[in-house]
A and B are shown apart, each in its own frame.
Chain A
C-alpha cells in the first residue's frame, strides 16, 4: 500500500523543460516513478530524454493517461498550472513551486475544495513512497520501505527526522511534504486520515512548525478519529514573534502560532512530542520496538 503515490502513478510534469523541472523529473523517473509526460506551452512535440512534451495538460492526459501532476513552474504562473491540471481531470496535483502569492493560493484552494482534485503543497518537497514512486525533490537514497508514515511542513527537517528513524531501522510507508505556505492545499488532517486507512502504516509522525493552527486542529482530529499511534515534532520554539522564519507560513503572530502552544495542544490530546529530531526516533522505538 502506501498513500497517494505508488506504482499506479502516471505523472505529468508542468514545467518539465525548465532546469529544475528537467533535473527532478529525470531523478523521479530514475527512481522508478512512471513519468509519462511533460507540459510546456509552445514546446509540444519535443521530448525530455524520451519523455514526451505537450502544449497543454489536457493533451497530455488524453494521450498518456496521466493521473498525477507535478507543478514546477515559476510562482507567477503556478496558480494557472494548478487550475489547468484540475480542469484536465488530474486527481492529485503536487506543487513544488515556492513563492506563490497568498491570494492566488486562496483562490486555487477555494476552487479545488468544490471539486474532487487534491492539491499537495505548494512550497513542498513532494511525496515519496519508498520502493514505489518518488514525486518531487525528496532525496530518496536516505529512505527505505517501512511502516512509518511521515507528514511535514518542511523539507530538510523531514530528511533529518527520516534519517534519525532510518538509523534506528525504521522505514517509511510514505513521506508527504505538505509545504510551508500559509494556504497549504492539504492539511495534516488530510494526510493523517490517509495514513489511518493505509494498512502499511503502523505509526504516524507529524512534523510541524510555528504559524497558523494546523497542528492544534490535527490534535483534535487525532484524539477523535485515529487508532494508530501518532508522534510529533514542532520546530521554532526560539522564533521571535512577527518574523517570518524562511517559510512564508512560519510566523508567530502576536501570541498565536507558537511552538509551545502547538506542543501543548498535541500533548493534551495524548500525542507525544519529541523535543528534538533524535528524541522523535527514540519515541518511535518505544512505540514500535527496536528494529536494528
Chain B
C-alpha cells in the first residue's frame, strides 16, 4: 500500500547502514580477489615503499634523525594511502556504480561512504602491522588505543567528507576527479608523511597545522611511537572535518536527486 510520506523509520536507517556495510566489504573484497597474494598486497606494497624510503633517508641522505623512522614513514604512507584512496574512490563512487544508480532507489550517500568503508578495512589491517612494529620498537603506551581510535575515526570522517563533497560534483563534471588527483599529489608534500614537521622552521610549522591531515598523522604517531600530540593541529583537523561534513552532506543530497538522470 502507499503509505503517507513520513519520517524515515529507525529500522530503515539500520537497513541502509547494513547495506553500506555489505557494499564496503564488497569493495574491499573485489579489490584483492583476483590476485594470488590477495589482501597481502595491502601490506606488501607500503612495506616495500617504506623500506626504500627508509634506506634513502637513513643511509644515503643521513639528514633525518627521526627516531624509529621506518615505522614513522610506514605509518605515514599507510595513513596517506587510506586518505587518498578514500577521496579519489569516493569521488567516482556514484559514476562507478552508474548501473545501480540508474536502477535501484537507494540513498546515494551509500556509494561514497561504502568506498571509504572498504578502504578503511584495508587500513585497519595495516594498523595491525603498524602495532606489531611498535611492539618491536617498544614504543607503545597506555594511551595508544585511545589515540589510535581517534586518529582512525578522524581520518575516516575527513576522507568521507571530502569524498562526498567531490562526488556530488563529479557526477555533473567529470573533470573533478583529475583535479582531486592533482590536488592530492601536491598535498602529499604539504603533509608530513615522509618528514618530521618539528624539524621545520616554526613559521612553516604553523602553516602546516592548517593541513587537516597533520592532526591525523600527529595522533597516529603519538599512538605508535609515543610522540607528543600536536593538539592544535588535531583541533583544526576536527573542526575542518566537521565543517566539511556539514557542507558536503546537504550539498550531496540536494544534487543526488538528479544523479540517475545524468550519471
Q: A and B, one complex? A: no
Interface residues of B (CB under 8 A from A): none
Interface residues of A (CB under 8 A from B): none
